[in-house]
Amino acid sequence: MRTPHAERRTPTMPVSTRSLLACAALLTAGALGHVAAQPAASPAAPIPARLDAVLKKAPVIDGHNDLPWEMRTRAKYDFDLIDIAKPQPQLMTDIGRLRAGRVGGQFWSVYVPVELQGDAAVSATLEQIDAVHEMVRRYPSAFALTRTAAEVERAIAAGKVASMIGVEGGHSIDSSIATLRMMHRLGAGYMTLTHSKNVPWADSCSDTPKVQGLSPFGEEVVREMNRLGMLVDLSHVSPDTMADAIRVSQAPVIFSHSDARAVADSVRNVPDDILRQIPKNGGIVMVTFVPGFISQEAAEHSRRSTAETERLRAQFPGDAAAQKKGLDVWTAANPAPRATLAQVADHIDHIRKVAGIDHIGLGSDFDGITSVVQGLENVSTYPALLGELSRRGYADDDIAKISSRNILRVMRAAEAVATRLQPTATPSIKTIEDMDHVTRRGAPVAP
């Protein structure tokens, strides 16, 4: 696994020494699991009356939150063990803080590790989807499962957090369009085409390119997502995959949790040449709060930690304990720099300049990170960021677009494309074996 970014992921299955050390490198960038104490959250300041009025009309809809994975790893989905109706300081998300942060809608990520492949990945993803359904069932006064923009608005009007589902990585469907369809029927509103490793039909930003973007089967996946009304998520994918998906998609695409590469040079961020294509497509970049994607200094630190990890692998081949000890020493001598709320606003400024105000949203990655942005420590803190934008001169209507109106527009547009396509476009029955002449694992099909 390559580790040029700074999101945490904690596998629940044994993985290779290589994967473990890659995970250790992520930890140095503040991204692997809640294993270190977090800085205390900034005291919540009163929300200014003007901003409060905006958020009453346009509460935050966030593109990416990993609470389901945290519930899996910490409590095996037991909401009695971790009752999110009560304060849960070990998490970044609970119902009280969602309300304090003026959150009206949330795409819950149903991430599973790339170490899981095939049936194991599909099963784990279904378990994650089930966890979202169970959370909504368990807390009916707080959450409502929603699939369309109209349903989101009805849930918000009822005082609930509209809950949507995002599949994080094409490995979750095991190169099967039928599996994609079934996950959509269970409520999946978007799928990120890759995670940190390539899939046989699409290249990741953090892996060696294999198909140079999307394969023919990958293009068919995008077309089927358009037919279903499922959003195509381009966070984690390579620039070539981004460009191919934008070319193929008839509906607006999303970046559920990414920042601007011109501001912080991380491969997980969106290059300007792609940002310039977003207005014509109608899509949205949902700015994330991952420190290594926000701060250039943190991005550089992440690259150096990855290089140190590779050096330790070469020095201590097969000795995970020695490699980890060496990385711990390096990390103690090279602490990760902090990212700031103002730097997050800088990314928003840049995306507004290049793509326009209509193409910005928020995708925090809360409970998918451990190293946090100063001032954006948990789901109660969105008003602090929106207040910073107000101080920078963003109009109330601009803030409303960023908080929720832009993503609702994108959802409606995708729904309209699906409505147009479905009367004549039948469900795809094409396979990767027929289209790309490879198996679901990417091996050549035997003649």
Q: Check if the beta carbon of residue 156 is closer than 8 Å to that of residue 142.
A: no
pLDDT, tens digit (0-9, with 9 covering 90-100), for 9-29: 543 333 333 333 333 333 333
Q: What is the pLDDT of residue 13?
A: 35
The SS3 assignment for 438 reads strand
- Indicate whether 7 belongs to any domain: no
Supply angle C-alpha 128, 202, 3, rounded to 5: 70
**CATH code where residue 101 lies:** 3.20.20.140
pTM, entire model: 0.90
The boundaries of the domain holding residue 280 are: 54-295+338-436
- Given 5, 171, 184, 236, which residue is catalytic? 236
Provide the number of structural domains found in the chain. 1
Kindly report which listed range (7-16, 63-72, 92-101, 141-150) carries the lowest average pLDDT score. Answer: 7-16
Indicate if 66 belongs to the active site: yes
pLDDT over 50 (residue 31): no
- Given 195, 301, 347, 350, which residue is catalytic? 195
pLDDT, tens digit (0-9, with 9 covering 90-100), for 357-413: 999 999 999 999 978 999 999 999 999 999 999 999 999 999 999 999 999 999 999
Indicate if 133 belongs to the active site: no
Amino acid identity for residue 9 in this structure:
R
pLDDT, tens digit (0-9, with 9 covering 90-100), for 327-347: 999 999 998 889 999 999 999
Q: How confident is the model at residue 42 (pLDDT cuts 50, 70, 90)?
A: low
Q: What is the pLDDT of residue 443?
A: 85
- Given 7, 62, 66, 398, which residue is catalytic? 66
Q: What is the pLDDT of residue 202?
A: 99
**Which whole number is the average pLDDT over 218-232?**
99
Q: What is the pLDDT of residue 14?
A: 34
- Indicate whether 199 belongs to any domain: yes
Q: What is the pLDDT of residue 442?
A: 83
- Helical H segments across 200-238, by residue range: 216-228
Among 45, 49, 56, 173, which Cα is nearest to 116's?
Answer: 173
Indicate if 34 belongs to the active site: no
- Indicate whether 41 belongs to any domain: no
Beta strands in 127-204, from DSSP E residues, in sequence order: 143-145, 161-168, 188-192
What's the chain's average pLDDT? 91
- Indicate whether 280 belongs to any domain: yes
- Given 5, 7, 62, 64, which residue is catalytic? 64
Indicate if 64 belongs to the active site: yes
Distance separating alpha carbons of residues 261 and 359, to the nearest angstrom: 16
**Which whole number is the average pLDDT over 287-293?**
96
For the CA atoms of 312, 315, 320, 326, the dihedral, rounded to the nearest 10 degrees, stands at -50
- Given 5, 184, 257, 359, which residue is catalytic? 257
Residue 38 vs residues 89, 327, 331, 372: alpha-carbon distances, Å: 10, 20, 16, 8
Q: What is the pLDDT of residue 36?
A: 34
Q: What is the pLDDT of residue 43?
A: 58
Indicate if 168 belongs to the active site: yes
More confident of the two residues 363 and 299:
363
- Indicate whether 235 belongs to any domain: yes
- Indicate whether 27 belongs to any domain: no
Residue 294 vs residues 87, 184, 206, 361, 386: alpha-carbon distances, Å: 28, 32, 17, 15, 16
Q: How confident is the model at residue 41 (pLDDT cuts 50, 70, 90)?
A: low
Indicate if 151 belongs to the active site: no
- Indicate whether 132 belongs to any domain: yes
- Indicate whether 139 belongs to any domain: yes
Indicate if 350 belongs to the active site: no
Q: How confident is the model at residue 303 (pLDDT cuts 50, 70, 90)?
A: confident
pLDDT over 60 (residue 152): yes
Q: What is the pLDDT of residue 6?
A: 53
- Given 70, 168, 207, 358, which residue is catalytic? 168
Quick one: tokens of 71? 């519930």
Among 79, 78, 96, which Cα is nearest to 87's?
Answer: 96
